[in-house]
Homo-oligomer: A and B are copies of this chain.
Amino acid sequence: MPTKQYVYSFSEWKGLGKDLLWWKWANLAEMVSLGMPIPDWFTITTETCDIFYKNNKTYPVEATEQIEAHLVELETKMGKKLGDANDPLLVSVRSGAAASLPGMMDTVLNLGLNDESVVWIATKTGNERFARDSYRRFIQMFGDVVMEVPHHDFEKALQGVKDKRGVKLDTELDTDALKEVVQNYKAVVQAAKGTSFPNDPRQQLKMAIDAVFGSRNNDRAIYYRKMNDIKGLLGTAVNVQSMVFGNMGETSGTGVCFSRNPATGENKFYGEFLMNAQGEDVVAGIRTPQTIDTLAGVMPECYDQLVEIYKRLEQHYHDMQDMEFTIQEGKLYMLQTRNGKRTGAAAVKIAVEMLAEGLIDEKTAVLRVAPNQLDELLHKQIDKAAKTNAELLTKGLPASPGAAVGQVVFNAQDAHNWNEDGKKVILVRLETSPEDIQGMAASQGILTARGGMTSHAAVVARWMGKCCVSGASEISVDEHTKTLTINGKVLNEGDIITLDGSTGEVFNGGLTVVDPELSGDFAKLMELADKYRTLKIRTNADTPRDTAQAKTFWAEGIGLCRTEHMFFAEDRILAMREMILADDVDGRKRALAKILPYQKGDFYELMKILEGLPVTIRFLDPPLHEFLPTEDKDIQALSAEMWISAEKIRERVEALHEFNPMLGHRGCRLAITYPEIAEMQTEAVISAACELKKEWIDARPEIMIPLVGFKSELDFNEQIVRRVAKETMAKYGIDVEYKFWTMIEVPRGAVTADEIAQTAEFFSFGTNDLTQMGLGFSRDDAGKFIKEYLEKNIFEKDPFQTIDEMGVGRLVRQAVEGWKATRPDIKLGVCWEHGWDPASIDFFHRIGLAYVSCSPYRVPIARLAAAHSALLN
């Protein structure tokens, strides 16, 4: 029987199976197989670990022999010997389980250092302090993880030396001090373990290997495996790799490089390096690295080798590579390669160019760009250089992406007036309300002290495609004195600030902002996405501007037109208020008659822009009190304007007040109390369609009744809509093929979808309200505690950003099943915030919805996400 193989060298790894490897070692092994220069290593198998446990923590003599043999082989290859006083071999020892187990021993670096070899390192690097510091770190690391000396014993020893020398920072310790630390550390080990720190590197190695095997069953590892349900691992492997140094003089160096530019995507070798330095020096930023191309002048051979390697790696991995290398005394070693992280712009460019180069196929190109990465491409951005020297005032939530510069104003009216005067403004509010909409539209960006990612300000801003930072809780806003205070700094009305809606940053003064470039690569990628996706993408829009914007992004219709926003414009809000304050049906009808031409005009415009595409019009949804003023001075002004006593207005405001407006008198419930509202809206929709048809323009209105929980509610609304539509078409003598839809957003509507489907022809999910009611979380209030839920791992994701598939998703699935039981052939849609989130789109794709609808600027993201889902499911 041949002896079992306990130890493998890296060159034997190929084909051994990934369960033995980490990705990092797998990549290194693959590079080895490509003939690239990697510091040698060998691996002791997981099976050895298993045997170690089954044999009372010993392993067979054959294993020890094989370790020794491989160590000698390593020494031979590297031309160094472990513990040699002249040019010693140093190694790293790492655990190497198939699954990463944090809390287990990870790495011991510089194993092999001892009182002799440290001297050689000092001489060779010309940096004794570096050598001594490495040594004391080695003792501490080894003592801690291998010998299990309490961590704080070392800290205490270190502090003692620092106190004695009167210094505060580790970096202030000079060579002599570090020598003293090493002495004291050894004493600590002696005191704690009753044995001296091993000076013999072979003993160090044996101890380290045993410790790695032993760590497999320490408390933390057991707990971690249990928590993460990791079972059936044989054990851990141990990797022993020779160390290389970039700080061994002027023919040594270290660097990081990319096969293409990760910021722009340009197909040009990119990176930086430092001669006579360690990786840490690059990171620390004490010395300024040189760009990678200058390496050609310094060490042309190494440079050429590197170029050859990066090209082969890119060809091999079919993706842009991020590599680390070290040059030790003129010899190049690759330490790592991986697919490189990149900006959105770079991702698009690289994907499209690699496709053109034949390096990847179309599907791969589509999948190479994460949908969310497109976001940064679609909005203005603060110039990166400008940011570095700017004064950061505070950081809020990145509520709506883009950048904005403007003068601070504190209310919607001022925003409107200043904008009329040609000034650019940032609207700063405690929080926004529907009354602020015109002011928000007049602003460059919005900053609020309260509210989360899905607060009113955030939702409206995203849908307007406007930059917004919300929930900047360090800000205190005083609307009366028109000042805002951030950490003691006071800003006045008119002061200029800059918002970064993609990061939540708020800067003092005006920073340079750059426009997005929707290059040819972007268009190409979108074209590919459209080729592969099956889900249609509509937009949420209720103004001609948004509709036109969405059309440029190829939206396939309007999935949600929120008619209430049409009531807020200055010329309409008065009629709306008249309607609300009217004493009877006749009074309401008179007021509604004034609104009718506006609504009709709006619907006419939207359907005209989207000729032939469907336009889903949701009937009035918010509670009526949202349309009335609440501040005393506004009530007085309205009283004067409408010739109605302020008292009466106040009474009405009071009567309409609701404790939980989210669960109040809104949606289809409004039309049940005031059928005349639905009558007016039906007339407006159908008239607009008739007039377009008269002009031979194809109009496809879909009337959508919101907040339906009961079939009987929908039936009541249907009677109104059908009757008025019939009357209106008769008046025009024109037939319009309108649709009668509903929205499933109340949990009851979801669980009784089979019944509701008897009345509605189709429905669209309102996943925002469904999430609010299904989870019992008010969008406007939950921001405060959802943050904590995320921090405390109660939530993995914010359910207002990614649909809660296990909960709300079950309601959605039930609704789909119920609906199909009644109408087997029909497909369904979804609108609202979740409409653009890639993970949510994936869910909607999997359950077979027909379309999703999202705000105009999210349409491209949704298109790409839909393509991903089609390709990955």
- Which residue of B has the minimal Cβ distance to A806? B752
The minimal Cβ–Cβ distance linking A630 to chain B, given in whole angstroms, is: 13
Known: A748-B807, A804-B748. A781 touches B664 (CB 8 A): yes
Across the interface, A709 reaches (CB within 8 A) one of B659, B755, B776, B792, namely: B776
CB atoms of A748 and B774 under 8 A apart: yes
Pairwise interchain contact A778-B658, C-beta atoms closer than 8 A:
yes
In Å, the complex CA distance between A752 and B807 comes to 6
A709 and B660 form a contact (CB under 8 A):
no
User: Which residues of chain A (790-824) have a CB below 8 Å from chain B?
Assistant: 792-795, 804, 806-808, 810-811, 814
Chain B residues whose C-beta falls within 8 Å of the C-beta of A795 in the assembled complex: 710, 712
B-facing residues in A650-673 (Cβ within 8 Å): 658-665, 669, 672-673
- A747 and chain B: residue at smallest CB distance: B747
Closest to A651 in B: B476
Q: Please, which residues of chain B bring their CB within 8 A of the CB of A662?
A: 659-660, 662-663, 776, 778
* A307 adjacent to chain B (CB < 8 Å): no
Q: Specify which chain B residues have a CB less than 8 angstroms from the CB of A752 in the assembled complex.
A: 806-807, 810
Interface positions of A from 739 to 788, Cβ below 8 Å from B? 745-748, 751-752, 755, 769, 772-778, 780-782, 784-785, 788
CB–CB A664/B788 < 8 A: no
A707 touches B776 (CB 8 A): yes
- Shortest Cβ distance from A867 into chain B, in angstroms? 31
| Nearest opposing residue in chain B for A710, CB measure | B794
A98→B780 CA distance, assembly (Å): 57
Q: Which residues from chain B contact A660 at a C-beta distance below 8 Å?
A: 660-663, 778, 780-781
How many copies of this chain?
2
Residue of A665, A755, A769 contacting most chain B CB atoms (<10 Å): A665
User: Are A713 and B794 neighbours in the complex by a CB distance under 8 Å?
Assistant: yes
A224 contacts chain B at the CB level, 8 A cutoff: no
| B-side contacts of A713, CB under 8 Å | 794
| CA gap between A712 and B660 in the complex, in Å | 26
On whether the beta carbons of B794 and A746 are closer than 8 Å, the reply is no
Q: Which of the listed residues A748, A806, A807 has the most CB atoms from chain B within 10 Å of its own CB?
A: A748
Is the CB of A317 closer than 8 A to any CB of chain B?
no
Q: How far is the CB of A717 from chain B (nearest CB, A)?
A: 10
Contact among B672, B773, B793, B806 for A794, CB-based, below 8 A: B672
Number of interface residues of A (CB under 8 A): 50
Residue contact A792 to B664, C-beta cutoff 8 Å:
no
Contact status A775-B748, CB under 8 Å: yes
* Residues of B close to A710: CB separation below 8 A: 794-795, 807
> Which of the listed residues A713, A782, A794 has the most CB atoms from chain B within 10 Å of its own CB?
A794
5 A–B contacts, CB within 8 A, in A order: A673-B785, A673-B788, A709-B774, A748-B804, A773-B773
Q: When the two chains form the complex, which single residue of B663, B712, B808 contacts A663, counting CB atoms closer than 8 Å?
A: B663
Nearest residue (CB) in B for A751 is B810
Q: How far is the CA of A660 from the CA of B663 in the complex (A)?
A: 8
A778 touches B659 (CB 8 A): yes
- Let me know if A716 is at the binding interface, CB within 8 A: yes
A709 proximity list for chain B (CB < 8 A): 774-776, 807
Q: 8 closest Cβ contacts across the A-B interface? A: A663-B778, A660-B778, A748-B807, A747-B747, A659-B780, A746-B776, A664-B781, A660-B662
Closest to A430 in B: B654
User: Which residues of A (622-681) have their CB < 8 Å from a CB of B?
Assistant: 658-665, 669, 672-673
Determine the chain B residues whose CB is within 8 A of the CB of A774 once the complex forms: 709, 746-748, 751, 773
Knowing that A664-B781, A746-B774 touch, tell me 8 more A-B residue pairs with CB under 8 angstroms.
Answer: A659-B662, A673-B785, A709-B776, A709-B807, A710-B807, A745-B776, A747-B811, A751-B774
- CA–CA, A480 to B844, complex, Å? 56
Residues of B within 8 A of A748 (CB): 774-776, 804, 807-808
* Structural contact, B716 and A663, CB atoms closer than 8 A: no
* A789 close to chain B: CB less than 8 A: yes
Contact with B along A676-715 (1 / 0, CB 8 A): 0000000000000000000000000000000101101100
Chain B residues contacting A661 (CB-CB under 8 Å) are: 659-660, 781
Measured CB to CB, the closest approach of chain B to A608, in angstroms, equals 35
